[in-house]
Structure 1
């Protein structure tokens, strides 16, 4: 039976690491986006109910081939509405291990057997984490020895690649929680302090989306209670879900009475051809949904003020606010900052109405911050997922030329949103972009270098028009927006990925060291 052993170290107290790993959300945070997705976390893993809890994963084929195949399937689904499955379902049971560790044992999956044993120990200046993965290939006895050895090398390489991602992610998340005094030791250090307790319960709309999933996981990892707004009733009476239906203006009047903050990210997906109906859904979902959420949190603030300070509404928006190009803007500023007026194209108009609805809650004393999100980097969705299959196949290149692309890593946009939740002075619009935007030509070159692929062939202009229509391609794929990240840094957000190559190496598992 092949066995892979991996050791890593984290510069944090063993007790804090063990307690953080037991919190909900950490399994999602530590799942590499290039490897698959968590479909079900081991519920109750932070208490007695965690013993034997089920963990469900959907995993890609190892390597760039698997990541690209899943991205290509998403692209095909966007264009045609259907795509073949590219992932394999794994069902595991999580059992308690020694010293705060755990053991994951496969119930169902492609292997004959699979067991991952994670042990956590004090390493003097920090924490030592030891993993032992033992597995058996299906029908191993019928596989030629040379092929079997080759498969074991591929699997071991993938396991070590995923472990490197987890090490980097765990260190960054723990540093984030330490910055916000959310580590268990920090919360227990001075129970008699009169320091404001801060938010305890956060409601999240759009919780199942690419960004929302990571926001919920990071909030849970900070020890906060998360309640997801869902467009269905909860037949089992789950207290971590809040039913709502923005199209019918339905959200219980008391929904936010015991909620300290709301993160509002819901909205019809932007991706798709910009037909009249698609544009109507984009605008209606954002305007009507935000109006309903803002009204309910304002009513809760007036009815039941919090002793620790006002409730907070952190509402989504986008850098589409500024207009796609200089021709769409009522000013001549090259660097786009939060104090500039909205542009004149379709997405700018949507963002303007979107933010206006959120600001209605401020009149009731709610702290309102709007997050103008840039081009999010993740192989699970957005622009990177659309380019990845082409570049990985060696037939992709730049999309545009000198247009400036203001990007942000998925981890940074999630961390910035949670940072705004936890920062009492944060209000008004905040650009969610990295400090170093790049041109379209430079973006293609960096992505190709990370993947060790050529980037000489420009993406045909009809490609974006086919997926988004002429208007959508102009306002999204070919937009030219140099957006400032200064406000986010002034508010204390510490960027994890300041340079594009750092972000791409991380999310694609191509780390060089």
Structure 2
């Protein structure tokens, strides 16, 4: 049993091989619907060791085999036992051969990527994983070539979060250096950051800062939660932006949100030039963006990434909704007529990458798909991808219990038809602008093209 999977990547073999050798490649290829997280990446494709932390405290250990290594052409890894930490996996055999062959395509130099796995797991279960991995490889390489950015040093706050983990892996696998700004004792590749008093040398040698840190907006909107949302953004963002300006950093990219537009803007199409809305989140985002611009007067190019509903199988809204819809219990929420402005997870990573490397990007940027949908359409698409019905209307009492009345109105029932006008002006290409394509990629329900 096992699987063989191959595809042709429109990139030269040296480029494809180099990508696999860099930190972050393993993380970029880990399907979001699979359990586990990258615990350790292999330091060498010849004889390194990679570890994946699984539920229940088990560790999947992949040992690279020097006998199967051919520089620039092939590497091999095997699952190996590691005592009690992998006791539940003892019966799992996994021998994975990765091979690369230069070929020609209509676009020029290309690479045939061939994976062969000897395991007890059947191809029906494995194929979505390899379709995902090859798609990620092709898309990431294409985006790196499109941006054509020289190597930079980028400091990132919130690097261990959902977005930060993916963005740092994208950057390092593209050949850039990432410095993770952390609030605990710093380790390798990290610097300790005090949000209330950033050290004078915190950003020494840094070309760009990406500021992602901030308390999650998900939770019951009581006084304590509102305080966490606001205090984690207002103040620390200004201090970091001022430190960036004083250190000669060229670019300061800050997270923001489409909450700027308020919770209900009716049928209006909301571009970056649209005015701010009303409500708690609108006020927080307005102040947050003002703080992020603290270094603009000193010549820093500031970008505020106004993010919509992020679709990822690993976290956020989709991670919560999947089991509900899988059980056949999903359906239109509170009538389903409100607009939902969403973005595929990897498209969000691309927006941050463009904000870092494209000097034409400045000010607020709507990080949303160009194809917003009504909530009832979202429900129907998600149910269709999972082969489940979406006929049971979902009452608003569920979100109200989880988020409170204010949170329900400003998050779950927010009616915002946001358009990515700034990105459109730059001819930005989205990987997955269609909702069905994004859901299939993030949930492992791809429709595979003929090999």
- TM normalised by structure 2 equals 0.92
Quote the residue 1:352 is aligned against. 286
Quote the residue 1:172 is aligned against. 139
Tell me how far 1:340 sits from its aligned partner: 2.1
Contact persistence 1:268–1:281 (CA under 8 A): yes
Tell me how far 1:270 sits from its aligned partner: 1.1
Please give the secondary structure, in 2, of the residue aligned with 1:15.
Answer: helix
Contact persistence 1:28–1:37 (CA under 8 A): no
Tell me how far 1:58 sits from its aligned partner: 4.0
Tell me how far 1:381 sits from its aligned partner: 1.6
Tell me how far 1:287 sits from its aligned partner: 1.2
Question: Number of paired residues?
Answer: 433
Map 1:141-152; keep pairs closer than 5 Å. 152=121
Quote the residue 1:447 is aligned against. 382
Find the aligned partners of 1:282 and 1:117 in 2 and give their Cα distance.
Answer: 47
Find the aligned partners of 1:338 and 1:88 in 2 and give their Cα distance.
Answer: 46
Q: How big is each residue's C-alpha offset from its partner over 1:363-413, in whole Å with a ceiling of 9 and x where there is no partner?
A: 111100000000000122222122111111111112231100000000000
Moved more, 484-493 or 343-352: 484-493
Residue 372 of structure 1 pairs with residue 311 of structure 2? no
Contact persistence 1:374–1:432 (CA under 8 A): yes
Q: Which runs of 4+ in 1 moved over 6 A?
A: none
- TM normalised by structure 1 equals 0.81
Find the aligned partners of 1:325 and 1:3 in 2 and give their Cα distance.
Answer: 51
Compared with structure 1, are the counterparts of its residues 386 and 399 closer, same or farther at alpha carbon in structure 2 (3 Å cutoff)?
A: farther
Contact persistence 1:24–1:41 (CA under 8 A): no
Quote the residue 1:493 is aligned against. 428
Residue 421 of structure 1 pairs with residue 356 of structure 2? yes
Which of the pair is proportionally richer in helix? Answer: 1
Compared with structure 1, are the counterparts of its residues 168 and 87 closer, same or farther at alpha carbon in structure 2 (3 Å cutoff)?
A: farther
Query: Which of 186, 197, 209 lines up with 1:250 in the alignment?
Result: 197
Contact persistence 1:291–1:358 (CA under 8 A): yes
Residue 123 of structure 1 pairs with residue 116 of structure 2? no
Quote the residue 2:182 is aligned against. 230
Compared with structure 1, are the counterparts of its residues 500 and 132 closer, same or farther at alpha carbon in structure 2 (3 Å cutoff)?
A: same
Please give the secondary structure, in 2, of the residue aligned with 1:459.
Answer: coil
Stretches of structure 1 that go unaligned for 5 or more consecutive residues are 60-84, 137-151, 183-196, 302-309, 327-331
Compared with structure 1, are the counterparts of its residues 433 and 120 closer, same or farther at alpha carbon in structure 2 (3 Å cutoff)?
A: same
Quote the residue 1:98 is aligned against. 70
RMSD: 1.9
Tell me how far 1:43 sits from its aligned partner: 4.9
Compared with structure 1, are the counterparts of its residues 15 and 245 closer, same or farther at alpha carbon in structure 2 (3 Å cutoff)?
A: same
Q: How big is each residue's C-alpha offset from its partner over 1:341-365, in whole Å with a ceiling of 9 and x where there is no partner?
A: 2222000111011101110110111
Please give the secondary structure, in 2, of the residue aligned with 1:429.
Answer: strand
Quote the residue 1:304 is aligned against. none
Tell me how far 1:95 sits from its aligned partner: 4.3
Tell me how far 1:318 sits from its aligned partner: 0.1
Find the aligned partners of 2:94 and 2:218 in 1 and give their Cα distance.
Answer: 38
Find the aligned partners of 1:451 and 1:229 in 2 and give their Cα distance.
Answer: 38
Quote the residue 1:504 is aligned against. 439
Quote the residue 1:362 is aligned against. 296
Quote the residue 2:219 is aligned against. 272
Contact persistence 2:193–2:202 (CA under 8 A): no
Stretches of structure 2 that go unaligned for 5 or more consecutive residues are none
Contact persistence 1:36–1:87 (CA under 8 A): no
Find the aligned partners of 2:415 and 2:380 in 1 and give their Cα distance.
Answer: 18
Find the aligned partners of 2:394 and 2:400 in 1 and give their Cα distance.
Answer: 11
Please give the secondary structure, in 1, of the residue aligned with 2:51.
Answer: strand
Contact persistence 1:261–1:312 (CA under 8 A): yes
Find the aligned partners of 2:7 and 2:374 in 1 and give their Cα distance.
Answer: 37
Find the aligned partners of 1:499 and 1:135 in 2 and give their Cα distance.
Answer: 35
Please give the secondary structure, in 2, of the residue aligned with 1:286.
Answer: coil
Find the aligned partners of 1:181 and 1:397 in 2 and give their Cα distance.
Answer: 43
Find the aligned partners of 2:75 and 2:37 in 1 and give their Cα distance.
Answer: 17
Residue 162 of structure 1 pairs with residue 129 of structure 2? yes
